[in-house]
Structure formats: structure tokens, C-alpha cells
């Protein structure tokens, strides 16, 4: 589709059946409009802005760079936010799924971060912080499918300095990380897209979730009866394991 075809389509969709009627609305000669709609003349930025605002569509949509009509006011975005949007648009479905999952977790963490209650420990009094807890999603065995209707609960952890980076909690399913982590342990996770070799993290490999130690091009199990898992082009890190919640 060309710009002229898109302009014609928008004109008709919005009830302007004739060029003369639409040209009068735009306060331009009908011959100019005809040249735009037949692609005999390229539109200037003033005209593009006028049409974008009139029909509430993005300039990218008018120029046929996207089929998404949604208009984003770039002047309301920081440069870094706009760069994120541009990167997001070139991701495939798998990349969108991974980014959306992390975004949901971090959004909910920020919604909950002011939710504190009083907690008494043996050394005195401190606060508790509320997190999202995903029960038995990360696998310490052969993997578990994620991202489809992940059930989330709330869990309270001590609001202490070493846990300030924790974004969410996740349950262990399996024994491949024994004796460090056992089936049913609650792990405290810092959201990050990268961990160092030797660190334990939450990883997605071909749609399945694992809690593993990162090795060179592979995920390593601490239990010798499990084989290492090769990383693929569809592998993502979802967070670093800060520790496990000690139940009282």
C-alpha cells in the first residue's frame, strides 16, 4: 500500500466521500489532494502532522511503515524510552513474550513496594516487604513451560539491605540443583537479563524455565545425575537468584 492509497482509505473511512469535501475540510486545493492520493506528490511534514492529528493515527501508519494505527506522542517520551520502543518493534513473538513477562513482574513489584507490615525477628524489629510469588514455575529438573497464565500469589520477605534488589519469588520444581536448592524451596530473584558465569539464575530455553548455574554456552546442574542444557538462540535470562527464603 502507498501513502496515497492509505490517505484515500482514511478519507472514506471517516465519511469524506468526495475529494472536494475533504479538500475543503483541509483548506487545500482539490488538485493538491488529488496529487497526494494518486502519489503524484509527496506530502510534507506539516500535512502529515495535520492528517495524523485529524484521524488520530501515527505518521508511521500514514507512511505505511506499520499497520498499527496507534499514535504515540513521542514528545512525551524520554529518548531512552523511545529507543526501547524501537527495539521492541523488531523483536519476534518469542522476544515480545519474554519482555512482556519481565515488564509485568516489575510493574507489579512497583505496585506492591509500599506494602509493608511489621516483622519481629530475634535481633529486633524490622519490616516485611510484599512480593509476587510464582509457585513452582522455575524447574530444577527437566524444564517447565512458562508464560501461560502464570499463577501469582503474594509473599512477604524481610525488608533488609541484602534483599532490596529482589523483584519476585519463584518456587523450585525438581532436584537438579541439590544440595544448594531443593524441591519446594522459595527462591528470591533479582530481575536482570544477564548473569555472570558461575551464578545461578532463572533461564528460559525454548519456552521452558530452569533454575541453573550459568556455564560456557550451557546451563549447569549441580546434581550429577542431570545433563547440562545447551543454550540456544531462543534462550533468555529472567533473573539472578539472590538466595532462598528461610521459612520460620
Q: What is the pLDDT of residues 155-172, one digit of tens each?
A: 888 888 888 888 888 888
3-state secondary structure of 165: coil
Burial class (CB in 10 A: 0-12, 13-18, 19+), 134: buried
Q: Which residue shows C-alpha cell 548455574?
A: 213
CB 217 within 8 A of CB 132: no
Bond before 98 cis per omega within 30 degrees: no
As a whole number of angstroms, the distance between CA 89 and CA 148 comes to: 22
Higher pLDDT among residues 42 and 142, named by residue = 42
Task: Specify the pLDDT at position 37.
Answer: 94
Burial class (CB in 10 A: 0-12, 13-18, 19+), 17: exposed
Predicted confidence (pLDDT) at residue 86 exceeds the cutoff of 80: no
Q: pLDDT per residue over 114-141, tens digit each? A: 444 334 454 554 577 888 888 777 666 6
As a whole number of angstroms, the distance between CA 78 and CA 74 comes to: 8
3-state secondary structure of 138: strand
CB 141 within 8 A of CB 175: yes
Among 81-95, 143-157, 232-246, the least confident range: 143-157
Q: Which residues pair with 132 in a beta bridge?
A: 154, 168
The angle subtended at Cα 156 by Cα 159 and Cα 187, nearest 5°, is 90
Amino acid at each position: 500500500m502507498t501513502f496515497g492509497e492509505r490517505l484515500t482509505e482514511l478519507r472514506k473511512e471517516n465519511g469524506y466521500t468526495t475529494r472536494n469535501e475533504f479538500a475543503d475540510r483541509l483548506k487545500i486545493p482539490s488538485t493538491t489532494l488529488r496529487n497526494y492520493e494518486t502519489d503524484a506528490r509527496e506530502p510534507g511534514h506539516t500535512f502529515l502532522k495535520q492528517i495524523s492529528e485529524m484521524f488520530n493515527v501515527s505518521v508511521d501508519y500514514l507512511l505505511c511503515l506499520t499497520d498499527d494505527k496507534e499514535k504515540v506522542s513521542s514528545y512525551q517520551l524520554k529518548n531512552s524510552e523511545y529507543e526501547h520502543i524501537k527495539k521492541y518493534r523488531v523483536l519476534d513473538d518469542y522476544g515480545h513474550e519474554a519482555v512482556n513477562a519481565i515488564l509485568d513482574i516489575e510493574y507489579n513489584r512497583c505496585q506492591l513496594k509500599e506494602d509493608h507490615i511489621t516483622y519481629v525477628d530475634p535481633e529486633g524489629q524490622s519490616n516485611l516487604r510484599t512480593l509476587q510469588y510464582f509457585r513452582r514455575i522455575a524447574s530444577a529438573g527437566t524444564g517447565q513451560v512458562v508464560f501461560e497464565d502464570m499463577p501469582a500469589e503474594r509473599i512477604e520477605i524481610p525488608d533488609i539491605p541484602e534483599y532490596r534488589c529482589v523483584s519476585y519469588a519463584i518456587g523450585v520444581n525438581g532436584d537438579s540443583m541439590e544440595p544448594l536448592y531443593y524441591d519446594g524451596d522459595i527462591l528470591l530473584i533479582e530481575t536482570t537479563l544477564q548473569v555472570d558465569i558461575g551464578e545461578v539464575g532463572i533461564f528460559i530455553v525454548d519456552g521452558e524455565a530452569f533454575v541453573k548455574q550459568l556455564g560456557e554456552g550451557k546451563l549447569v546442574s549441580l546434581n550429577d545425575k542431570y545433563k547440562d542444557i545447551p543454550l540456544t538462540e531462543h534462550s533468555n535470562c529472567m533473573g539472578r537468584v539472590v538466595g532462598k527464603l528461610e521459612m520460620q
